[in-house]
Copies of this chain bind each other. A is one copy, B any other.
């Protein structure tokens, strides 16, 4: 069965401090990976939409509404959306 998969990349806006990334960076240095100068950590979200007939614009608009409402804190985060069609075995649906 054909479905739409939306891939959402949520990252901190430039200039926003990333304490999680800083902690990982110092941990990598402690593991002697000293060539790492900066680490930024975000979220990678995959959404499966069961309406494959949606146009790309409609699907993007829908996922954008989900991001603005729930998936991203748009005060300090920004997001990028990618869409792709995927074949999903019927049992999994």
| A residues in contact (CB < 8 Å) with B | 3, 9-11, 21, 24, 27-28, 31, 33, 35-51, 54, 62, 65-66, 69-71, 93
How many copies the complex holds: the figure is 2
8 Å CB contact of A35 from B24, B50, B69, B93: B50
Q: Are A42 and B44 in contact (CB under 8 A)?
A: yes
Query: Contacts A31-B66, A36-B49, A42-B46 given; 15 further ones with Cβ under 8 A?
Result: A3-B37, A11-B44, A21-B45, A24-B71, A27-B70, A28-B70, A35-B49, A37-B50, A39-B46, A39-B48, A40-B45, A41-B45, A41-B46, A42-B43, A42-B45
| Minimum Cβ distance to chain B for residue A16 (Å) | 13
